[in-house]
Amino acid sequence: MFIIDIALKNTPSMMSVQRKDAEAAKALYREVLEAMQNTASKVVLELTCEKQPDKKIAVLVSEIAAVQVSEQTGPGTTSGRPPGFFAMATETATTSSQRD
């Protein structure tokens, strides 16, 4: 399984959907990235999840801050998901403060 995480502006939590194979995950990543680069004022992107077919997310493209794709290989954290954007930012901040 591959997880596509979407971080929204001014929102601490992530929205995510899953794809069964790498090609489908990369295609969705490219679709979200392209939508971010070509933002019209009120474009909405609707996403579905392959793991939970009834799960649907509609996102206002102008509110997307970041997108990430990762492979779910095993329990990386207590939630079973690898660290995302915010975990990496915390690690960077901790490393920087240790050098000072």
Digit-coded pLDDT (tens) for 65-95: 899 999 887 655 444 545 554 444 444 444 4
The answer to whether residue 35 scores a pLDDT higher than 50 is: yes
3-state secondary structure of 97: helix
> Is the pLDDT higher at 55 or at 75?
55
CA dihedral 36, 43, 27, 33 (to 10 degrees): 0
Burial of 28 (0-12, 13-18, 19+ CB in 10 A): buried
* Under 8 Å between Cβ of 35 and 23: no
> Is the pLDDT higher at 25 or at 42?
25
- In angstroms, rounded to a whole number, what is the distance separating the alpha carbons of residues 73 and 59? 27
pTM of this prediction?
Answer: 0.67
